[in-house]
Structure 1
């Protein structure tokens, strides 16, 4: 599936002196929405675009949606498609919004994206929920992608993890160091 791209720029940003960030949405809880009271959650449009517009960030960014799946439904082919999208984009700073169940698996594939800083983040509650962690996790990911050296990282609950040394603890709804 070809990436759907939405382009955004912070109002008044000096384009010559501002970080350029690419956000790649691939589905997951962060983007889930209810369509009506009788429906299950479905993957909606990228929540990151709305969050960054609402908080009026001061950097250039674009948002692309390559895949729109619950991470438990992702395949190896999907992960290769995510890798290809990261490699094809000129940005050196990339945030991927992703479902939490298999973000570590995707991170392992993305280690092939040499020359870039990639931060994978998600949310335990959909961005549309009042008690979501999406805004916080995205904010931490934006800070992390600017400060970290090239490589692939996972960012959740105020922590930054090396993708080679992290696992999801489902019973605690947290990630932990290995």
Structure 2
């Protein structure tokens, strides 16, 4: 299993000099969460952007990493605003891998429970699910990417079957 960290709110940290939440160029948050796991996971940092800033080149880079990897199971930590776009893009390319996108509505630095729960559920699902596909894991739900979307009015992901 390979975990790809692409940034998003999940990773944002407060910069006291600028007064803004920024996405750092590191994997500190994911590393902190993984320390509680009794298993070593492969982790690679890529992109490090708010998902609103992600473009097709960033999505192609993620797809290229997945394509070239020896792994067949992937978790992508991704911003929630364009998570569905990336998931749909990857689902058009891959049907022979298991890919789970997860993130959080609040930064780990502000609410470490949500980010930890979402990543933990994604890891558990990745280990238990036998069917390949592209899934989204948010708000306690794990569904095929076609069946779940962000409800911006409610600030959470929900089923859209």
User: If the length of structure 2 is used for normalisation, what is the TM-score?
Assistant: 0.91
Aligned to 1:106: 86
Gapped regions of structure 1 (runs ≥ 5): 1-20
> Which of 36, 49, 60 is equivalent to 1:69?
49
Gapped regions of structure 2 (runs ≥ 5): none
SS at match of 2:127: helix
Which segments of structure 1 move beyond 4 Å, counting only runs of 4 or more?
none
How far does residue 37 in structure 1 lie from its aligned partner after superposition? Answer: 5.1
Normalized per residue, the structure richer in helix is: 2
Q: Find the structure with the greater CA-based Rg.
A: 1
How far does residue 28 in structure 1 lie from its aligned partner after superposition? Answer: 0.2
What is the aligned-residue RMSD (CA, Å)? 1.4
How far does residue 48 in structure 1 lie from its aligned partner after superposition? Answer: 1.3
The whole-number CA distance in structure 2 between the counterparts of 1:51 and 1:129 is 14
SS at match of 1:164: helix
How far does residue 108 in structure 1 lie from its aligned partner after superposition? Answer: 0.9
SS at match of 2:146: coil
Counterparts in 2 of 1:122-161, with a 5 A limit?
Answer: 122-130=103-111, 132-148=113-129, 149-161=131-143
